Amino acid sequence: METVSEQRCFGGVQGFYSHTSAETKTGMRFAVFQPPQAKDSPVPVLYYLAGLTCTEETATIKAGAQRLAAEYGLMLVMPDTSPRGAGIDGEDVDWDFGTGAGFYLDATEVPWSENYRMYSYITRELPELIAENFPVKSGTAGIFGHSMGGHGALTIALKNPDQFKSVSAFAPICAPGQCPWGEKALGNYLGEDRSNWASYDATELVKQRATDQHILIDQGADDQFLEQELHPHLFEKACKASGQALTLRFHEGYDHSYYFIQTFMADHLTHHAKILGSL
């Protein structure tokens, strides 16, 4: 692991780091905010997954999460959204597929399967790297995200409830098997057999079993992608059927932007801090 930069921030340290990933077989970058409490003892860690076209810098700069994370003693880890520079023909053609659009899954279709392994990167390789290099309190990890990253947070948490104790999302893609963004990504990464898509579809996953997690979702009522791409009502229906605890909140006047995320970031950090024991 190499340090790209480190700056003082709310009494802690905001850093950017890089390493060569065994999962993606490319260089990867990620950001870590270490709260001031991390100087004295290990702290809970919260992973934030960003959306389409974003990088490790997007939420780090725009979300306004560091102030409250410093107060609560939460470490924030913000990875990139896909491999970069894999050399795959067509990876940079579309904004909603390929570079910047890894969808937090392990691709099975050639040529994507060699490098596009963001699920394994987020659930195994990156947590191991963080644990080796930062003062993380064992067994106290949470995950949240926005849009495509909200999809990633929900699916990863539902499949790994013992690893990620807390979960929330801003405007997540709740049913990727039933929206254009998801159909494009899952079809190309996982193949045409839709039965293979279910393991990366939060609505389908929650139908199979409920977890002990209490899921928080915030959604802007004026989100331009709400009707066609996000489908929180489908996830809500599936949660009710399976008994999954869910708080789904709609907010009039808010869209899909980071102004929306900034507005409700404190609620999400409080949600995670309570569950992870830093409040």
Phi/psi of residue 228, nearest 5 degrees:
-90, -35
Residues 6+ apart with CB under 8 A from 57: 16, 31
> Looking at 80, 201, 218, 223, which residue is catalytic?
223
Phi/psi of residue 120, nearest 5 degrees:
-65, -30
Q: CA end-to-end span of the chain, whole Å? A: 31
Q: Token match 């709609």: residue?
A: 250
What pLDDT digit, counting tens, does each position of 228-255 carry?
999 999 999 999 999 999 999 999 999 9
Q: How confident is the model at residue 277 (pLDDT cuts 50, 70, 90)?
A: confident
Q: How confident is the model at residue 181 (pLDDT cuts 50, 70, 90)?
A: very high
Annotation marks residue 256 as catalytic: yes
CA angle 211, 164, 47 (to 5 degrees): 135
Chain centroid to Cα 107, Å, comes to: 17
Positive or negative torsion for Cα 181, 186, 187, 188 = positive
Asked if residues 48 and 78 have their Cβ atoms less than 8 Å apart, the reply is yes
> Looking at 146, 151, 231, 256, which residue is catalytic?
256
Position 81 pLDDT exceeds 70? yes
What pLDDT digit, counting tens, does each position of 99-134 carry?
999 999 999 999 999 999 999 999 999 999 999 999
Q: How many CB atoms lie within 10 A of CB 277?
A: 12
Is residue 213 classed exposed, middle or buried when 0-12, 13-18 and 19+ CB atoms within 10 A define those classes? buried
Position 278 pLDDT exceeds 70? no
Question: CA of 66: how far to CAs of 37, 118, 189, 213, 234, in Å?
Answer: 13, 25, 34, 24, 32
Q: What pLDDT was estimated at residue 279?
A: 67
Positive or negative torsion for Cα 100, 105, 111, 114 = positive
Q: How far apart are CA 42 and CA 178, in angstroms?
A: 41
> Looking at 82, 147, 166, 168, which residue is catalytic?
147
Q: How far apart are CA 84 and CA 64, in angstroms?
A: 26
Asked if residues 142 and 167 have their Cβ atoms less than 8 Å apart, the reply is yes
Q: How many CB atoms lie within 10 A of CB 149?
A: 30
For the CA atoms of the chain, what is the radius of gyration?
17
Q: What pLDDT was estimated at residue 139?
A: 94
Asked if residues 68 and 45 have their Cβ atoms less than 8 Å apart, the reply is no
Annotation marks residue 223 as catalytic: yes
What pLDDT digit, counting tens, does each position of 142-177 carry?
999 999 999 999 999 999 999 999 999 999 999 999
3-state secondary structure of 16: strand
Beta strands in 104-228 (DSSP E): 136-146, 166-170, 215-220
Q: What pLDDT was estimated at residue 271?
A: 98
What pLDDT digit, counting tens, does each position of 21-66 carry?
999 999 999 999 999 999 999 999 999 999 999 999 999 999 999 9
Average pLDDT score, the chain: 97
* Cis amide leading into 135 (omega within 30): no
